[in-house]
Amino acid sequence: MSDEWTVESEAPQKKGGLPAWFWWTCGTGCLLAVLIAVTLSLFGFFAFRKMADPEQVKLKLVDVLPCDQWPADYKPRGGGWGVEQYFITWPDQIGLAIVYKTSGKGDLSALLDPDSLQNKFGLKNRVEGEMELQGRTAKTMRYEDVAGQDHLRVDITGEKAPYSMLDVSVPEDADAEETARRFLEPFDIWRGED
């Protein structure tokens, strides 16, 4: 009989799960995704706050709606991220006007053309016309939106850029041209052109 002691070797434990590099990669990817989400959220918050600031919007509108003193009861908002569309509430029955600034004369012409593709969807009873506005003739387009509200679009572009247009909601039984004139009364839209 042999008195030898034998030590049974323990079988190596099998490593379970995924390798460490996998966890480092996933963790870094998740951290990066969280940082990007936080950055975009902060950017959106500050951009929206700037768009909602009436003083910032007035600075963008002063070249198309020039005036010595901005009317206290005209409240502008909107525009930003390349969208040059500004909403202005004013003391009227409906109280909403939209000022568009376009990048070119062609874009403005399309907004005022009753037969342009963008005006055929959702706009009914489109009629092209002209009106006298502060001593000049301006191109117009009347239309009715999907809710049945009447509107008048007026070209308020001067001799040069920026190309711009006013879209004013017209109260029921009101004269569309007179509504546009009342809205533009505090502004000297042809300032510096003579």
Q: What is the pTM of this model?
A: 0.69
Q: What's the confidence (pLDDT) of residue 140? A: 92
Summarize the confidence of residues 7-16 as an average pLDDT.
66
> Given 3.40.390, 2.60.40, 3.30.70, 3.40.1000, which CATH number is that of 54-184?
3.40.1000
Confidence of residue 79 (pLDDT cuts 50, 70, 90): low
What is residue 137's three-state secondary structure? Answer: strand
Q: What's the confidence (pLDDT) of residue 7? A: 63
Helical pair 54-61 and 20-52, crossing angle rounded to 10 deg: 70
Sheet holding 150-155, edge to edge: 75-80, 83-89, 96-102, 163-170, 150-155, 136-144, 124-133
More confident: 81 or 145:
145
For the chain, the domains span 19-52, 54-184
Of 183, 115, 117, 126, nearest to 151 by C-alpha is 126
Least confident interval from 51-60, 78-87, 129-138, 170-179: 78-87
Least confident interval from 28-42, 126-140, 157-171: 157-171
Q: What's the confidence (pLDDT) of residue 154? A: 92
Query: Strand 96-102 vs strand 83-89: parallel, antiparallel, or unpaired?
Result: antiparallel
Query: CA separation (Å) from 130 to 48, 55, 106, 111, 123?
Result: 36, 32, 18, 14, 19
